[in-house]
Amino acid sequence: MRALPAEHAIVSAGYALRDVQRWRDGRIETDQDCIAEELPIALLYNDRPHVVMMATPRDLDDFVLGFSLSEAVIDHADELSDVQIHALLEGIEVRVRIPGAHAEVLEGRRRNLTGGTSCGLCGAQALEDAVRQPAPVDAGVEIDPRALHRALDHLQDLQPLNTATGATHAAAWAHADGSIALLREDVGRHNALDKLIGAMTRAGERVSAGFAVITSRASYEMVQKAATVGIPVLAAISAPTALAIQLAESTGVTLIGFARNNSHVIYTQPHAATGSRREHAA
């Protein structure tokens, strides 16, 4: 791959401006549109290629940390070091160092994935790679339904990239009272969650003290990532899949879907999101 000149720093708003022809009220007019950026991001651990993800080229430090944690490449943030991000003509290359023991485990998985924005595990070579079973999560705080919808009400206002382009997902971390502490955006829903996990880790957020909200469906990979880092409650504005529900049940994650328009559906662990935990304990 060919490196770009040094003056091409990786500073991205996440979108590009493009001239377009817009049809409106029977007339054609020239206009400018904000288009979400999507580039291949190659991730190398200890100089060994591991995965290429199509992602929005912003918050890449959060992305590599969150991906490394949610995919169980490392156990703790301080095991990731010497992060080097290089802009190339073909995309972006991210090189990181991890402990040798983790690198050996990673090599043993024999995974060299090419993930798209709708699939995070394309190319897994074994069933155990595709459906990894995380350990059960610790119990979190009870989430009042009003707190969940308080977070949902503020979600759109905190998505500048989606406001500009209409093409990105978001993952947000909210405290128990529904106040949103962190939010990350990306063209890929998996990437947005990984970026959020990285940002939460850097900020020292306690996973037991809040809940995550995603602007997408809740596929099993999203539950898998949440459970791997210990997030106890995951709320999606769209539907879950059957495997996501099964995985949430087995790991103790409270999974919520169709969270919008002042309503939602609780699929697993309902006591954590209905205020009934105390009743169960009584």
Instruction: Name the residues annotated as catalytic.
Output: 119
Which region, left, alpha or beta, applies to residue 203 given φ > 0 means left and ψ of -120 to 50 means alpha? alpha
Amino acid at 173: W
Residue 36 pairs with which residues in a beta bridge? 15
Count of alpha carbons within 13 Å of 87, Cβ hemisphere only? 11
Nearest to 187, CA basis, from 66, 69, 54: 54
* 3-class DSSP assignment, residue 179: coil
* 3-class DSSP assignment, residue 122: coil
Separation CA 192–CA 44 (nearest Å): 20
Do residues 86 and 27 make contact, with C-beta atoms less than 8 angstroms apart? no
Measure the CA dihedral 238/150/180/213, to 10°: -20
Could you identify the residue written with the tokens 């954590």? 272
Helices (H), the chain: 60-70, 100-109, 127-130, 145-155, 160-165, 189-203, 220-228, 242-251, 277-281
| Tokens representing residue 117 in the block | 């924005």
Work out the widest C-alpha separation in the chain, in whole angstroms. 67
Separation CA 208–CA 202 (nearest Å): 16
Amino acid at 268: T
